[in-house]
Chains A and B, each alone.
Chain A
Amino acid sequence: MFRFLLKRLALTIPTFIALMFITFVMIRLVPGDPIEVRRGERGISPERLAQLRHEMGLDQPIWKQFLDYANALLHGDFGTSIVSKSPVLHEFLTLFPATVELTATAMLFAVVLGVPAGVIAASRRGGIYDQTLMGLALTGYSMPIFWWGLILVLVMSNTLGLTPVSGRVDLVNYYYDPVTGFMLIDSLLSDQDGAFWDAVRHLILPMIVLGTVPLAVIARMTRSSMLEVLEEDYVRTARAKGLSWTRIVGVHALRNALIPVVTVIGLQVGGLLAGAVLTETIFSWPGVGKWLIESINRRDYPALQGGIMLIATIVILVNLLVDLLYGLINPRIRHAK
């Protein structure tokens, strides 16, 4: 297991280096000189320009600039936002809990509904439940989530008045300090009546919107994985032993059917972060996705560069974690060469 872990870790290093290289090159390819962007509308003297260039290290040879950049990254310096003048890492970490809260609940939503849907569809193969559920799953999989979000807002918020349109919390009625950055927890800690319910109401639509595609993927994956497992000999043995169908499906088969599902769940993390960009934009959810889009619109390239570096790092780490988890639950992978 330890060798597996080492090997897997070693594999991520070249990816990291390439990632640094690409984000480094990116900022140099973007139209407009970073100095020009910085100095804005007003004129600037040549001396000041040279000084700025020196401050940003732009007068150094290109390989030196790359090494400096890599060195800074390894020391946790992801650059400084042009607009807010604060470190990118700090901005990212301030906004990240909002994105984690959204993506984690969306994933929970997807797993809690997706796995049972897949199991039901598989155990009633070809039946009306199977067809309905899989039809819904394919529709969910094909959904343009930005439109789905707008429709839900239209129906749930504007027509029925059940949920708020945007944001994470009702600032008029509730105020509490960000202790953990997770509104669900902070609202409970604040001890204000109705604060938690308010946080839930804000979260529910974004969660559904972001969770729709993973829900569909998980339901489809669980179904096909389950169908495969139900053909296995041990399922026949279990039936021959006279175990109830529910027990066979729910205990014997499900445990093995979930192995590939775990991988799929892990692979959805990248997709979730991509979906978060759209979802956060629609619901004005103050997370890193919305921040990335705003950085583009403000031409805040250092923020974009640092943000993409951080997001990619997170995805690589999560994939690493999923691989390890997969190795743990599936010994065949662990011992494979």
Chain B
Amino acid sequence: MPSDTVIPAVAAAPAPPAPPGPIRAFWRAFRENRGAVLGLVIVSIIFFVAIFANWLAPYNPLEQFRGSETLPPFWAEGSDPKFILGTDAVGRDMLSRLMYGARVSLFIGLSVMVVSMVVGVALGLVSAFFGGLLDVMIIRVMDLIMAIPSLVLAILIIAIIGPNLTNTIVAVTIVGLPRYVRLVRASALSELTKDYVTAAKVSGVGKFRLMTVTVLPNCLAPLIVQAALGMSDAILEAAGLGFLGLGAQPPTPEWGSMLADTRDLMLSHPWVMAFPGIAILITVLAINLLGDGLRDALDPRLRRS
């Protein structure tokens, strides 16, 4: 940032406040967006619940209480105060399952995000730096992945490697990968034409160092936004797979498969179906709010207007 290099000169002047550093500037812009702050708060709470589900959840999510099946939540008639949000078809505590479900969903979302970032950055940088046949091949493969509707491709992958939690992560990662690769490639290509890159090349910086230390940090802003939005997409997609019976397998308390389990009960016990869906919606919505806030705060063009 050019403003950083000016700091010493400005600081020498009597008493103008020092311009904020990049993180402070970002936080200031971020803080103005109430929705984004709300998103951050909710996401933090969900993370907290997911991490400490062992201590917070009243019961083991897999424990079945005989004689307490399909109990309604606390405000409805016939509820049992022992089960605040009621129980499912086989008498498992809904609240506990939701809390452990947060763990599963966030684990999927985070894993997909981390793997996509690492692989996407690697492929995108390689594509941008080496060009030629390698670039063409990588871009072709990404185009191909994008040509098949995401969920359909994920289903295809699951059909080959079998349905379970790990394979859900693999499938959802592959499906979302092109966006990371293209983003990194595009921003790296535009950085490569800039003077500072030429300067670094002239001063003898090696190719690997040029890729990772010189160029990559300047591509980070859009990548961070993509990571947040990619995480919410991953959670939705994984829940969709779970709903179709192709994701995490029972009895894992995964929100999508919890919904699928309760379809028969939908009419007689609507709340059993309502809660997992609300959990998915709130989580995804909060992450999207956060992602929108990040984009507005990190994109200086939007920040000024």
| A273: chain B residues within 8 A (beta carbon) | 149, 152
Interface check A139, CB cutoff 8 A: yes
Chain B residues 116-167 with CB under 8 Å of chain A are 140-141, 143-144, 146-153, 155-156, 159-160, 162
Chain B residues 273-294 with CB under 8 Å of chain A are 273-274, 276-277, 280-281, 284-285, 288-289, 292
Q: How far is the CA of A144 from the CA of B150 in the complex (A)?
A: 15
Tell whether A301 pairs with B159 under 8 Å between CB atoms, given A15-B140, A150-B266, A274-B152: yes
Tell whether A150 pairs with B273 under 8 Å between CB atoms, given A15-B144, A144-B240, A270-B150: yes
Chain A residues 134-186 with CB under 8 Å of chain B are 135, 138-139, 141-148, 150-151, 153-154, 158
**Cβ–Cβ contact A271 & B150, under 8 A:** yes
**Cβ–Cβ contact B150 & A274, under 8 A:** yes
**Cβ–Cβ contact B147 & A278, under 8 A:** no
**Cβ–Cβ contact A274 & B151, under 8 A:** yes
Most chain A beta-carbon neighbours within 10 Å: one of B140, B141, B149, B270? B149
Interface check A120, CB cutoff 8 A: no
Interface check A240, CB cutoff 8 A: no
Most chain A beta-carbon neighbours within 10 Å: one of B150, B159, B243, B266? B159
| A135: chain B residues within 8 A (beta carbon) | 35
**Residue from B151, B245, B281 in contact with A139 in the complex, judged by beta carbons closer than 8 Å:** B281
Q: How far is the CA of A92 from the CA of B156 in the complex (A)?
A: 17
Contact-residue size bin, chain A (C-beta under 8 Å from the other chain): 35 or more
**Cβ–Cβ contact B292 & A158, under 8 A:** no
| B156: chain A residues within 8 A (beta carbon) | 26, 304, 308
**Cβ–Cβ contact B151 & A138, under 8 A:** no
Q: How far is the CA of A144 from the CA of B275 in the complex (A)?
A: 12
Interface check A200, CB cutoff 8 A: no
Tell whether A315 pairs with B281 under 8 Å between CB atoms, given A14-B140, A18-B140, A150-B263: no
Interface check B236, CB cutoff 8 A: yes
Beyond A29-B160, A30-B160, list 5 extra A-B contacts (CB 8 Å): A144-B243, A145-B240, A147-B259, A312-B148, A319-B147
Q: How far is the CA of A127 from the CA of B36 in the complex (A)?
A: 17
Tell whether A150 pairs with B149 under 8 Å between CB atoms, given A14-B140, A142-B284, A278-B244: no
Question: How many chain-B residues does the 8 Å CB contact rule pick out?
Answer: 43
| Number of inter-chain CB pairs below 8 Å | 125
B177 to chain A, nearest CB (A): 15
| A67: chain B residues within 8 A (beta carbon) | none
Interface check B239, CB cutoff 8 A: yes
**Residue from A154, A304, A311, A315 in contact with B159 in the complex, judged by beta carbons closer than 8 Å:** A304
| A308: chain B residues within 8 A (beta carbon) | 148, 152-153, 156
| A296: chain B residues within 8 A (beta carbon) | 155, 159, 246
Interface check B226, CB cutoff 8 A: no
A335 to chain B, nearest CB (A): 21
With CB as the reference atom, state the residue of chain A lying closest to B245.
A297
Interface residues of B (CB under 8 A from A): 35, 140-141, 143-144, 146-153, 155-156, 159-160, 162, 232, 236, 239-240, 243-246, 256, 259, 263, 266-267, 270, 273-274, 276-277, 280-281, 284-285, 288-289, 292
**Cβ–Cβ contact A278 & B144, under 8 A:** no
Tell whether A277 pairs with B151 under 8 Å between CB atoms, given A29-B160, A147-B259: yes
Interface check A293, CB cutoff 8 A: yes
Which label, helix, strand, loop or mixed, suits the secondary structure of the B interface?
helix
**Residue from B141, B232, B280 in contact with A18 in the complex, judged by beta carbons closer than 8 Å:** B141
Chain A residues 4-35 with CB under 8 Å of chain B are 14-15, 18-19, 22, 26, 29-31
| A139: chain B residues within 8 A (beta carbon) | 281, 285
Q: How far is the CA of A141 from the CA of B229 in the complex (A)?
A: 11
A306 to chain B, nearest CB (A): 12
Chain A residues 26-68 with CB under 8 Å of chain B are 26, 29-31
Tell whether A147 pairs with B150 under 8 Å between CB atoms, given A154-B270, A296-B246: no
A37 to chain B, nearest CB (A): 13
| B149: chain A residues within 8 A (beta carbon) | 270-271, 273-274, 277, 311-312, 315
| A274: chain B residues within 8 A (beta carbon) | 149-152
| A158: chain B residues within 8 A (beta carbon) | 267
Interface check A316, CB cutoff 8 A: yes
| B160: chain A residues within 8 A (beta carbon) | 26, 29-31
The 4 A-B pairs at the shortest CB distance, nearest first, are namely A147-B277, A274-B151, A274-B149, A142-B285
Q: How far is the CA of A274 from the CA of B154 in the complex (A)?
A: 10
Q: How far is the CA of A53 from the CA of B239 in the complex (A)?
A: 39
| B153: chain A residues within 8 A (beta carbon) | 308
Q: How far is the CA of A308 from the CA of B147 in the complex (A)?
A: 10
**Cβ–Cβ contact A146 & B147, under 8 A:** no
Interface check A292, CB cutoff 8 A: yes
**Cβ–Cβ contact A144 & B263, under 8 A:** no
**Cβ–Cβ contact B285 & A144, under 8 A:** no
| B274: chain A residues within 8 A (beta carbon) | 151
With CB as the reference atom, state the residue of chain B lying closest to A273.
B149
A284 to chain B, nearest CB (A): 12
